[in-house]
Structures are given as C-alpha cells and as structure tokens.
A and B are shown apart, each in its own frame.
Chain A
Amino acid sequence: MLFDSPAYLAFLTLVVIVYWKLPRKQQNLFLLAASYFFYGWWDWRFLLLMIASTGMDFMIGGWIGNSDDPRRRRLLLLLSLVINFSILGFFKYFNFFVDSFTRTLAMVGAGPLTVQFFRIILPPGISFYTFQEVAYIVDIYRGKLKPADSILDYALFISLFPHLIAGPIQRPSHLLPQVQQERTLDPGTFLDGVMLIISGLFRKCVIADQCALVANGCFGGHFGHGLPVTVVGVLAFAFQIYGDFSGYSDIARGSAQLLGFHFMVNFRQPYLASSLQDFWRRWHISLSTWLRDYLYIPLGGNRHGTRKTYRNLMLTMLLGGLWHGANWTFVIWGAIHGLVLSAERAGRLGEDQIPATNPLWLWMRRIVTFTIVCFAWVFFRATSVSEAFRLLSDTSVNSARPELVTAAVVIAVVAAVCLAMDLRIENAREEYLFQNWTPQRRLATGVATLAAILLLSGSEPNAFIYFQF
C-alpha cells in the first residue's frame, strides 16, 4: 500500500475513525491488527517472518532485562544480534554475495558456475524493523530501557504502520513509552498531521515524480549522452530522492500524528548543509543517528586516537552504504561520504570547527557540499559501478537532444521551489512549511497545495525509492 495511493488514504481514514472511537485498551490491539493488515497487503508470507522476529526479540529482551549475570546478558545480546543480522543478511545480501562470488570465480578463470542458486525476494521494511529490534535489545542491555511488559505493546512498537516500511527508524526510548501510555486527540496535533500529509504528498507527487521523469530520461539515454545529460540527470535525481524520501517521512509522521503518536524528524533541509558532517545531521536523521549510536560509538568513536577514528568513520559509512542495498555502487557511495567526512575532520573543515558566519562563505560551503553530495549520488543512482564510471567519464558536450534544455529548465524551477521551501522552514524553525501560520492561512495553503497535487501529480504510480531498502 503506497502512501500516495488511494488505497492508503482510504485505509488511513478508516483506521483513524475507528481508532479514536475505541477505548484505550482496545486501541493498541486494533492498531496492531491494522498494521499487520497493512504489511500483509504486500505479501502475507513476509508477515510471518516479522511476527517470528518480533516474538524472538521480545523474549530475548525480557531475559536480558531479568538477568543480573553479565555473561548471560552478553550471550543473549550476541544471540539476538546474530539472529537479527543473519535474517537481514540472508534476505538482503544473499543474491549479492552469490553474484559477487560467481563473478570472482569467472575473473580468476574458474569458469561460470554451473550450480543455479535460487533468488531471494527482499521482504518490505526488513532493514528498518530489524534496526528497531536491534536498538531495543541493545538499549535493554545497556540498561537504558526496561523491557516491554506486554508483547502487544512491543509488537506495535515494531510494526506501527506509518514507520513500518521505510522508517523513520524509531528509537525504543521515544516510541515505546508512547505505545504504552494513553494517547489523546489534540486538535492542533491532528491539524499538523493533516498538513504534514499534504506537504509529503506535494514533495512526492509533484516534486519527486517530476524529477523522476527527468532523471530516468537522462540516465536512460532518452536525452542523448554526455556531460550535460549527466549533470541534469544527477541534479534531477538529487531532488527526486530528497522529495521522495522527505515526502514519505512527512506522510509517515503526519499519519502517526493523526493517531496521537509523535515520530522523530527525519530531514532538516539537507541541501542547505555547509559541510558533509552537517549534511548527515540533516539527511535521514533516524538512520544517521542510529549508525552513530549503535555502530560508530560502540566501535570506539573518536575516543581511541586519530587512526581509529578514521577507521570507525569509514566503517560506519561503508556499512551505512551497504545497508541501502546489496550493490557495490552503494558501498562506493558510502566510501565517498566516509572519505570526505574524514578529510573534513583532518582539515578541521566541519561545521563545528569553522562556523560560517559570513553569508557568502556560508553559501560557498553549501554549494561545495551539495556538489560532493551530487557526485556521490551518481553511484547511488547507477545500476552498476561500470555504468557510474561510464557516466562520469563521458565528457562530450554535443550529443544531447534539444529536449534536455527544457528538462534543465524544469529542474531549475523545481530546485528553486525546494530551495525557497527549505529556506523558509530553516529561517522560521518550522517542522513543515507554514507551520507557524494561523489556522486560516494554513487552510488556504493546504487547499492550494492539494489543488497543485491534483493538477500536477503523475498518472503512473511511482514506488518510493526507499521501499526497496
């Protein structure tokens, strides 16, 4: 059920109406059933996997919480980590390792492998709910969280439908108490939720889907080949993925707010970042903070000398890249980010070291950061490493079709709209556009945005990019 589909809007409306009519004790049960229905809508077989994984971590979490024996606690933690990452690894990376293995065999002259391996289908949302389960177990192990008393509450924390398929990855300390406590229907929060959904639909259906057409046209060779095509294609993809994922996150957060939950903010104007360090404080915040707290810091963070700090940075970004997908392109994407973050640290160029007070200096830094991010997007978007290098090495300028000029103008307009929106949100310190306006003005902008969505949204359904991760 895609968030921008009529099926989801009908589902959400029905769930919200029934949910607020139920007594508190039945609300969680109803939401769990609705969330399982939402997940099973894709493929009910994967539902069994999620339920099994949920049950296992609930039990292990309880055992860790009830044990005073450090050795037993550590063993249980290891058991949970091994099982969780084995499941994730099997479903997400089996095909990748088999393909890499057979290619390596072919490269060393061992010939093509005659054994035909079966192909594994990736269960939707597995990367996201596995990370939530790991966070739950680790927090209990660290003594930061008490295990959930009720499997119903825990299962709802894992599967609450607005975040189930593509995040934001919720921290147990933030969401679990909300699941356990009574929610109240606050009109202000509800209106914010509706506005967030409208804002998300605009970002997805108007901005991302238009950019997707241009990006697909450029990367598919429909506008010719060469440097100008690659540049327009990468810019289109940069705004496509931003509109797509931030739009998804807005709809997720808005849907949660209609049910009385609060989700963490996942994007804070990432293309206004003035360094890559700053970028990662603004882009996919729920993932970057997860990687920081559950990978970078446990590896030692910056506490064990310069060399180990760089090693930890690189490892975190490489694994962060691989988390996105089983392809070497994502590993290289992560490596680029890791290298630049290390370089910023070595040259003391990060936001913390050189605060940009001069507007000209600030904008120069923003442009440089955006250029580096776009360079890395080439690897993220390309279907293979060789395609990425082909795009970057084709520097011809005269083989583009005339439609490329129009495509460039469309992307310039979209970029201007995005920039204006982000600057407004940044300066007004809002969570979404016009959040601080009066209800009447929000009503007017809400209706106008809906009209734009109806008028400009594409006719073909475009799945959210992060659904594949």
Chain B
Amino acid sequence: MPLSISSSEPATARTGRITRVTWALIAGAVVLYASAELLARFGLEQVSTMHRRLLQEARAANAFHKSPSPSKKTVLLLGNSLLLEGVDMERLHAGLEPRYEVQRFVVTQTRFLDWYYGLEALFRHGARADRVVLCLTMAQLVSDQIRGDFSAHVLFDAQDIWPVSRDSAADLTITSGYYLAHFSAFYATRGELRSVLMNRVASSVQQMWHQAVISPAVSPTGSQLIAQSVARLGRVNQLCNRYGAEFVLLVPPTQDRGDFLLARAGAQAGVTVVQPISNSVLSTAYYQQDGFHLNRRGAQSFTDAIIREWMK
C-alpha cells in the first residue's frame, strides 16, 4: 500500500483507503480504551500501595460478619483520610483486642453521601457488624459533595447512582459519567492512574497539582446545620438498625469549629456521637503541615483516646 496519496490515484481507491483509515482510527480508540481498562483492573493494584490497601479493605469489609461470641463485638470502621492518618490501626487492634474485632475501610476524600450509599451497598453485599463507626467531621457530615466517579466504582451499586446523584445535585452529564465509572475501572480511577504515573515520572508536578487544588477546610455555618445533621445521623441510624447494627459517629480532632454541635445533633437523633479528643486540646504539634490531618504523634493520642472511650 502506498504511503502517500498520488494525484493519479483513482477516486474510488482513495475513498476506500480513507474509509479504512477512519475505521482503523475508531478501532484504535476502542483498543486503547480496552487496554487502559485492563491496566486499571489488573495493573493499578500492583503499582499503587494505596489502591492495593483500598481493595483489600473493601474485600474484607464485604466479607465482615457479626461476632458469634456475645463477649466480643465486631466493629466496621469507615471513613476518609482523617481516619487513615489519624488512627494507628495496630495500636487500636492491640488496645481493643479482648472486646472488639475491628475492620477498617477507608476511601480518601469521601463524605457523608459516599458512606451512606456505600454502607447500604456493603450491607446489600452481605457485610454485617455489631457496630458501624463512621469517622467524619461536621463539615463532612453536612456536605452534599461526593468523591464522584471513584465512589461510583468503589462504593456504590448501579442502583445507588440515581439517588446519590439526586442527593448531590449532580446534573445528567455527571450522572451518566457515574454510570460509566461504575462499570469502567479506568474511567473511575483515571485520576489515580495519572497520579501514580506522575509520581514516578515527575513527582514535583504531582505535588504542584496537589497544591493547586487544596481547598481550605470550611467550617459550616447556618441555622439549618443541626437540623441537617440530625436528619443525616437519623438516616444512617435507621439503615444500621435495619441490618441489626449499632451506629456510632466518631468525630476526629480538627480545627473544625462546628464539631461541638454534633453532640447535640446526636442526642436529638438518638445516635451515639463520640469525640474522644475535642478540637481545642491538641496543639499544631499534633498535626501535619496541612493543619488538617493528624501526624504520627497526633494519631497515637487519638487512638489511645478511642481505646479509653470504648473500653470504659
């Protein structure tokens, strides 16, 4: 086949060649996407420690069960990076060992809606626990945002996507993206894939992108705050009760000023709200540079406080 179009080439031959190239281009796009999908399904777990941890925890959470022994309770501990960074799991396991078996499931950048629908999907898949503990701040509890495509793939069932889109005020374009993300690992994890790639090729660019999108923690305000918190705590409580679990909200220490309202909201909703360390207790020496996540020292203090609280 000639590599260039000659002016003497018959029009029909040229048309046929262009048609074949067009089809090849479309086929190339399909093959590229299929390769990316395979990479996301089988490759990301191999190269990303974070993703491997997440998948392991997801599998363990789905297979979690109630304790057969009345003297030992099973606890499903759910949350985001505040839980990941703020709780030393080895220390927690050791401290609670005689009375509690704890299974953590962390998906970073998640908020209330991610976990309400994510928890419903976990229960639907057969997960059970004596106690469900959700670790969120006030701002995260009342937020209408979700982690988007990633949650659609990792946390939600297909049947959850329409209601979660409605609750998070997503438009039809975003909702259709969630449906694609639910079925396509590549579409859902393309951000993670790019981060892994950038971290290896140009980590400074990845750090710059991270810095560019950091948004300061916003303390929610407004008279609707308590009412909204009560409603949301009540929703999760009802869900847990339906599956025979006790629901507890664990409030991590942050600079979030609104968190003291959660105890009041919990009392109104009939939900146990545990805040082992109030926000004013820990100095900046216990936080990472971002001023939001606990550092190793802060994590030890928070973990010890949780153990003391639960072992009372």
Residues on A with C-beta less than 8 A from B174 are: 461
Q: Do B205 and A406 touch across chains, with their CB atoms under 8 A apart?
A: yes
Given A217-B212, A450-B28, A5–B177 Cβ distance below 8 Å? yes
Q: Cβ of A461 and Cβ of B177 under 8 Å apart?
A: yes
Provide the bound-state CA to CA distance between A455 and B5, in Å: 32
B187's contact among A2, A6, A410, by CB below 8 Å, is which? A6
Which of B204, B212, B213, B214 has the most C-beta atoms of chain A within 10 angstroms of its own C-beta?
A: B212
Contact with A along B138-149 (1 / 0, CB 8 A): 000000000011
B25 to chain A: which residues have CB within 8 Å?
191, 194-195, 442-443, 446-447
CA distance A188 to B18 in the complex (A): 6
- Contact across chains for B148 and A194 when beta carbons are under 8 A apart: no
| A216, A438, A459 pick with most chain B CB within 10 angstroms | A459
Does A223 count as interface, using CB distance less than 8 angstroms?
yes
Measured CB to CB, the nearest residue on chain A to B180 is A6
Complex contact A191–B32 (CB within 8 A): no
Residues of B212-262 at the interface with A, using a CB-CB cut-off of 8 Å, are 212-214
Alpha-carbon distance A447/B33, docked complex (angstroms): 11
B15 within 8 A of A: yes
- CB neighbours (8 Å) of B148 from chain A are 459-460
* Chain A residue at minimal CB-CB distance from B214: A222
Bits for A424-459, please: 1 = Cβ < 8 Å to B, else 0. 000000000000001111110011001100111111
User: Looking at the complex, which one of B26, B29, B212 makes contact with A222 (CB distance below 8 Å)?
Assistant: B212
Chain B: interface size category: 35 or more
B208 contacts the other chain (Cβ, under 8 Å)? yes
Q: Does any Cβ of B come within 8 Å of A1's Cβ?
A: yes
A41 at interface by CB-CB < 8 Å: yes
Tell me which of A187, A194, A438 has the highest count of chain B C-beta atoms within 10 A of its own C-beta: A187
Let me know if B211 is at the binding interface, CB within 8 A. Answer: yes
* B209, CB-defined interface residue at 8 Å: yes
A window 195-253: CB within 8 A of B? 195, 213-214, 216-217, 220, 222-223
The residue of chain A having its C-beta at the shortest distance from the C-beta of B203 within the complex is A406
A190 part of interface (Cβ distance < 8 Å): yes
- Residues of B within 8 Å of A438, CB to CB, are 3-5
**Chain A binding surface, main DSSP class:** helix
Contact status of A5 and B18, CB under 8 A, knowing A194-B25, A454-B36, A458-B191: no
Chain A residues with CB under 8 A of B19: 187
Specify which chain B residues have a CB less than 8 angstroms from the CB of A34 in the assembled complex: none
Cβ–Cβ contact A191 & B21, under 8 A: yes
Residues B163-211 near A (CB distance < 8 A): 171-174, 176-177, 180, 186-187, 190-192, 194, 197, 204-205, 207-209, 211
Closest to A459 in B: B191
Known: A41-B173, A410-B205, A451-B32. A439 touches B18 (CB 8 A): yes
Question: Does A403 reach chain B (CB closer than 8 Å)?
Answer: yes
Are A407's CB and B212's CB within 8 A? yes
Residues of chain B contacted by A214 (CB below 8 angstroms): 208, 212
What residues of chain B lie closer than 8 Å to A446, measured between beta carbons?
25, 28
B288 sits at the interface (CB 8 A): no
Asked if A308 is at the interface (CB within 8 A of a chain B CB), the reply is no
Q: Is the interface of B mostly helix, strand, loop or mixed?
A: helix
* B22 touches A (CB below 8 Å): yes
Q: Which residue of A lies closest to B172 (CB)?
A: A41
Interface pair B208/A194, CB less than 8 Å apart:
no
Closest to B175 in A: A7
A42 part of interface (Cβ distance < 8 Å): yes
Contacts of B4 in A (CB 8 A): 438
A contact residues around B15 at 8 Å (CB): 187-188
Q: Which residues of B contact A461 (CB under 8 A)?
A: 173-174, 177
* Nearest CB of chain B from residue A264's CB, rounded to whole Å: 24
Contact with B along A5-21 (1 / 0, CB 8 A): 11110100000000000
Question: How far in angstroms is the closest Cβ of chain B from A77?
Answer: 38
- The answer to whether B191 touches A447 (Cβ under 8 A) is no
A457 to B191, CA, bound (A): 8
Selected from A7, A410, A439, A459, the residue in CB contact (under 8 A) with B173 is A7
Measured in the bound complex, the distance between the Cα atoms of B25 and A190 in whole Å is: 12
| B17 surroundings in chain A (CB, below 8 A) | 439
Closest chain A CB from B224 CB (angstroms): 19
* B residues less than 8 Å from A457 (CB atoms): 190
Contacts of B26 in A (CB 8 A): 194
Q: A407-B212, A440-B3 are in contact. Are A187 and B18 (CB under 8 A)?
A: yes
Complex interface: chain A residues within 8 A of B22 (CB):
187, 190-191, 194
Residues from chain A with a CB closer than 8 A to the CB of B28 are 443, 446-447, 450
Of all chain B residues, the one with the shortest Cβ separation from A443 is B21
Take A2-B173, A223-B212, A460-B148 as given contacts and tell me if A450 and B32 are in contact as well, using a CB distance cutoff of 8 Å: yes
B46 to chain A, nearest CB (A): 18
B62 to chain A, nearest CB (A): 25
Q: List 28 A-B contacts (CB under 8 A).
A: A5-B177, A6-B187, A7-B173, A7-B177, A8-B173, A188-B18, A191-B21, A191-B25, A194-B22, A213-B213, A216-B213, A220-B212, A223-B211, A403-B212, A406-B207, A407-B212, A438-B4, A439-B18, A439-B21, A447-B29, A450-B29, A454-B36, A454-B186, A458-B191, A459-B148, A459-B191, A460-B191, A461-B174
List 16 extra interface pairs beyond A223-B211, A403-B211, CB under 8 A: A6-B180, A6-B187, A190-B18, A195-B25, A216-B212, A217-B213, A403-B212, A438-B5, A443-B21, A450-B32, A451-B32, A454-B186, A454-B190, A459-B149, A459-B190, A460-B148
Nearest first, the 3 closest Cβ-Cβ pairs linking A and B are A459-B191, A217-B212, A439-B21
